A and B are shown apart, each in its own frame.
Chain A
Amino acid sequence: MKLWKKLFAQTTYGQLTIALFLICGVSGVFLAIPYDVAEPYRAVSTMRIASPAASLFRNLHFWSAQLFLIFTFLHMWDHFRKTEKIKLKKGLWLRMCLGVLIIFLAMLTGFLLKGDADSRQARQILESLTAGIPVAGSLLAYSLLGKAGDYQLIYVHHIATFTVFIAVMIFEHARKIWPKWGGFVLSLSVLLVLSYFFSAPLHDNLHPTVKGPWYFVGLQEILHWLTIPGLSLLFVLLVLGLIYLVPFLSDRGSFIAKRSLLIITILYLLLSAEGLFFRGQNWQWMWPGEKGYTWSVLHAYRMSRVVFGPDFNIGQVVEAPLINGRKESCTICHSKVSGFTLSHNPEALGCASCHGGNPLEPDKNKAHQNMRLIPGNLSDASMSCGTVNCHPEITQRINSGLMATLSGMISVDRFVFNEEDHPDVLTDLHHLAGSPADEHLKNLCVRCHLGNPKTEWGTVGQHSRGGGCLACHLNYEAATLTALLEHNKNTNDTSYLKLHPSISLKVTNEHCFGCHSRSGRISTNYEGWHETILSKEEMPDGSLYRLVEDKRVFRYVQDDVHHALEMECIDCHNSYELMGDGKLYAHQENQQTVHCSDCHFTGKPETIEQQNLDQEAALITGLRYGHVTDREFLLTAKRNQVLINTFYENDTAFLLTKNKQRLFKMKPPKAVCSEGKAHKDLSCSACHTSWAPSCFGCHNEYDAREPGYNMLTNKEESGSWVEFVGEYNAHPPALGIRVKENEKSIIPVVPGMVLTIDVSSFTKQTHDSLIFQRLFAPAAPHTTSKAGRSCQSCHNNPVALGYGKGKLEFTVKNGLGRWTFDPAYQNNLHDGLPEDAWIGFLQERTGKVSTRSDVRPFSIQEQQNILTVGACLTCHKESSLIMQQSLSDFKEILRSKKGKCALPVWE
Chain B
Amino acid sequence: MKENKHNRRLFIKSAGLGLLLVTVFLWDKLVGTDKKLTARHKISIPFNPNKNISFQNDFIVVNQHGQTQVFSSHCTHLGCTINKSQGNLLVCPCHGSAFDRNGQAVRGPATQALKPLPFTINKATDQLTIEV
A639 to B81 CA separation, bound complex (whole angstroms): 34
For residue A209, which residues in chain B have a CB less than 8 angstroms away from its CB?
Answer: 93
A124 to B95 CA separation, bound complex (whole angstroms): 13
Q: Knowing A208-B93, A227-B111, A396-B87 are in contact, say whether A125-B80 is a contact too (CB < 8 A).
A: yes
| Interface size classification for chain B | 35 or more
Question: Are A388 and B84 neighbours in the complex by a CB distance under 8 Å?
Answer: yes
For residue A121, which residues in chain B have a CB less than 8 angstroms away from its CB?
Answer: 80-81, 93-94
Question: Are A615 and B58 neighbours in the complex by a CB distance under 8 Å?
Answer: no
Question: Are B79 and A127 neighbours in the complex by a CB distance under 8 Å?
Answer: yes
For residue B87, which residues in chain A have a CB less than 8 angstroms away from its CB?
Answer: 393, 396, 582
User: Quick one: CB contact mask for A118-130 with B, threshold 8 Å, 1 for yes?
Assistant: 0011001101110
Question: Are B38 and A147 neighbours in the complex by a CB distance under 8 Å?
Answer: yes
A24 to B94 CA separation, bound complex (whole angstroms): 29
| Interface presence of A743 (CB below 8 A) | no
Residues of chain B from 13 to 60 with CB closer than 8 A to chain A in the complex: 27-28, 31, 34-35, 38, 48-53, 55, 57-58
| Interface presence of A806 (CB below 8 A) | no
Question: Are B78 and A124 neighbours in the complex by a CB distance under 8 Å?
Answer: yes
A625 to B32 CA separation, bound complex (whole angstroms): 51
For residue A388, which residues in chain B have a CB less than 8 angstroms away from its CB?
Answer: 55, 83-84
Residue of A nearest to B75 (CB): A124
Nearest CB in chain A: distance from B27 CB, A: 7
| Interface presence of A713 (CB below 8 A) | no
For residue B66, which residues in chain A have a CB less than 8 angstroms away from its CB?
Answer: 612
Question: Are A142 and B50 neighbours in the complex by a CB distance under 8 Å?
Answer: no
A615 to B63 CA separation, bound complex (whole angstroms): 9
Question: Are A611 and B49 neighbours in the complex by a CB distance under 8 Å?
Answer: yes
Q: Knowing A121-B93, A210-B94, A615-B52 are in contact, say whether A143-B31 is a contact too (CB < 8 A).
A: yes
Question: Are B77 and A229 neighbours in the complex by a CB distance under 8 Å?
Answer: yes
For residue B31, which residues in chain A have a CB less than 8 angstroms away from its CB?
Answer: 139, 142-143
For residue A281, which residues in chain B have a CB less than 8 angstroms away from its CB?
Answer: 93
For residue A283, which residues in chain B have a CB less than 8 angstroms away from its CB?
Answer: 93-96
| Interface presence of A613 (CB below 8 A) | yes
| Interface presence of A343 (CB below 8 A) | no
Name which of B28, B55, B93, B96 has the most chain A CB atoms within 10 A of its CB.
B93
For residue B108, which residues in chain A have a CB less than 8 angstroms away from its CB?
Answer: 227
| Interface presence of A67 (CB below 8 A) | no
Q: Knowing A209-B93, A611-B49 are in contact, say whether A124-B84 is a contact too (CB < 8 A).
A: no
| Interface presence of B70 (CB below 8 A) | no
CB-contact partner of A124 in B38, B50, B80, B110, under 8 A: B80
A603 to B49 CA separation, bound complex (whole angstroms): 29
Question: Are B79 and A220 neighbours in the complex by a CB distance under 8 Å?
Answer: no
Nearest CB in chain B: distance from A353 CB, A: 14
Question: Are B50 and A611 neighbours in the complex by a CB distance under 8 Å?
Answer: yes
Nearest CB in chain B: distance from A438 CB, A: 30
User: Quick one: CB contact mask for A417-449 with B, threshold 8 Å, 1 for yes?
Assistant: 000000000000000000000000000000000
Q: Knowing A139-B27, A392-B84 are in contact, say whether A229-B78 is a contact too (CB < 8 A).
A: yes
Question: Are A618 and B27 neighbours in the complex by a CB distance under 8 Å?
Answer: no
| Interface presence of A665 (CB below 8 A) | no
Q: Knowing A224-B96, A282-B96 are in contact, say whether A120-B85 is a contact too (CB < 8 A).
A: no
A129 to B78 CA separation, bound complex (whole angstroms): 7
Question: Are A282 and B50 neighbours in the complex by a CB distance under 8 Å?
Answer: no
A615 to B53 CA separation, bound complex (whole angstroms): 8
A209 to B52 CA separation, bound complex (whole angstroms): 24
For residue B38, which residues in chain A have a CB less than 8 angstroms away from its CB?
Answer: 147
| Interface presence of B4 (CB below 8 A) | no
Question: Are B80 and A615 neighbours in the complex by a CB distance under 8 Å?
Answer: no
A291 to B34 CA separation, bound complex (whole angstroms): 49
Question: Are B77 and A124 neighbours in the complex by a CB distance under 8 Å?
Answer: no
Question: Are A220 and B111 neighbours in the complex by a CB distance under 8 Å?
Answer: no
| Interface presence of A617 (CB below 8 A) | yes
For residue A610, which residues in chain B have a CB less than 8 angstroms away from its CB?
Answer: 50
| Interface presence of B115 (CB below 8 A) | no
For residue A613, which residues in chain B have a CB less than 8 angstroms away from its CB?
Answer: 50
For residue B57, which residues in chain A have a CB less than 8 angstroms away from its CB?
Answer: 149
| Interface presence of A167 (CB below 8 A) | no
Question: Are B28 and A139 neighbours in the complex by a CB distance under 8 Å?
Answer: yes
Residue of A nearest to B108 (CB): A227
Q: Knowing A224-B109, A225-B109 are in contact, say whether A614-B78 is a contact too (CB < 8 A).
A: no
CB-contact partner of A396 in B48, B49, B79, B86, under 8 A: B86
Question: Are B85 and A210 neighbours in the complex by a CB distance under 8 Å?
Answer: no
For residue A139, which residues in chain B have a CB less than 8 angstroms away from its CB?
Answer: 27-28, 31
Summarize B's interface: helix, strand, loop or mixed: loop
| Interface presence of A242 (CB below 8 A) | no
Question: Are A223 and B49 neighbours in the complex by a CB distance under 8 Å?
Answer: no
| Interface presence of B91 (CB below 8 A) | yes
| Interface presence of B92 (CB below 8 A) | yes
| Interface presence of A875 (CB below 8 A) | no
For residue B49, which residues in chain A have a CB less than 8 angstroms away from its CB?
Answer: 611-612
Residue of B nearest to A230 (CB): B78
Q: Knowing A148-B58, A396-B86 are in contact, say whether A227-B94 is a contact too (CB < 8 A).
A: no
A149 to B111 CA separation, bound complex (whole angstroms): 26
Residue of A nearest to B79 (CB): A128
Name which of A120, A224, A392 has the most chain B CB atoms within 10 A of its CB.
A224
Question: Are A393 and B85 neighbours in the complex by a CB distance under 8 Å?
Answer: yes
A517 to B51 CA separation, bound complex (whole angstroms): 36
CB-contact partner of B95 in A224, A612, A617, under 8 A: A224
Residues of chain A from 591 to 629 with CB closer than 8 A to chain B in the complex: 610-615, 617-619
Question: Are B81 and A618 neighbours in the complex by a CB distance under 8 Å?
Answer: no
For residue B94, which residues in chain A have a CB less than 8 angstroms away from its CB?
Answer: 121, 124-125, 210, 220, 283
Name which of B48, B53, B84, B94 has the most chain A CB atoms within 10 A of its CB.
B94
A396 to B86 CA separation, bound complex (whole angstroms): 8
For residue B53, which residues in chain A have a CB less than 8 angstroms away from its CB?
Answer: 615
Q: Knowing A208-B84, A388-B83, A615-B51 are in contact, say whether A282-B93 is a contact too (CB < 8 A).
A: yes
A610 to B84 CA separation, bound complex (whole angstroms): 25
Nearest CB in chain A: distance from B65 CB, A: 10
| Interface presence of A316 (CB below 8 A) | no
Residue of A nearest to B54 (CB): A615
For residue A229, which residues in chain B have a CB less than 8 angstroms away from its CB?
Answer: 77-78, 109
Residue of A nearest to B83 (CB): A388
Nearest CB in chain A: distance from B36 CB, A: 12
Residues of chain A from 113 to 164 with CB closer than 8 A to chain B in the complex: 120-121, 124-125, 127-129, 139, 142-143, 147-149
Q: Knowing A121-B93, A224-B109 are in contact, say whether A128-B78 is a contact too (CB < 8 A).
A: yes
| Interface presence of A314 (CB below 8 A) | no
Nearest CB in chain B: distance from A37 CB, A: 16
Nearest CB in chain B: distance from A390 CB, A: 11
| Interface presence of A345 (CB below 8 A) | no
A125 to B96 CA separation, bound complex (whole angstroms): 14
Residue of A nearest to B86 (CB): A396
Name which of A129, A220, A393 has the most chain B CB atoms within 10 A of its CB.
A393
Name which of B27, B31, B110 has the most chain A CB atoms within 10 A of its CB.
B31
Question: Are B80 and A223 neighbours in the complex by a CB distance under 8 Å?
Answer: no
User: Quick one: CB contact mask for A211-236 with B, threshold 8 Å, 1 for yes?
Assistant: 00000000010011111010000000
For residue B85, which residues in chain A have a CB less than 8 angstroms away from its CB?
Answer: 392-393
Nearest CB in chain B: distance from A129 CB, A: 7
| Interface presence of A284 (CB below 8 A) | yes
For residue A208, which residues in chain B have a CB less than 8 angstroms away from its CB?
Answer: 84, 93
For residue A220, which residues in chain B have a CB less than 8 angstroms away from its CB?
Answer: 94-95
Residue of B nearest to A143 (CB): B31
Q: Knowing A210-B94, A282-B93 are in contact, say whether A223-B109 is a contact too (CB < 8 A).
A: yes
A127 to B81 CA separation, bound complex (whole angstroms): 12
| Sampled A-B contacts (14; CB under 8 Å) | A121-B93, A125-B94, A147-B34, A223-B109, A224-B96, A227-B110, A229-B77, A282-B92, A396-B87, A610-B50, A612-B49, A612-B66, A613-B50, A615-B50
The 5 closest A-B pairs by CB, nearest first: A618-B50, A128-B79, A124-B79, A282-B96, A283-B96
Binding site for A on B (CB under 8 A): 27-28, 31, 34-35, 38, 48-53, 55, 57-58, 63, 66, 74, 77-81, 83-87, 91-96, 108-111
| Sample of 4 further A-B pairs with CB below 8 A, known A223-B77, A227-B109, A282-B86 | A125-B79, A227-B77, A229-B78, A618-B50
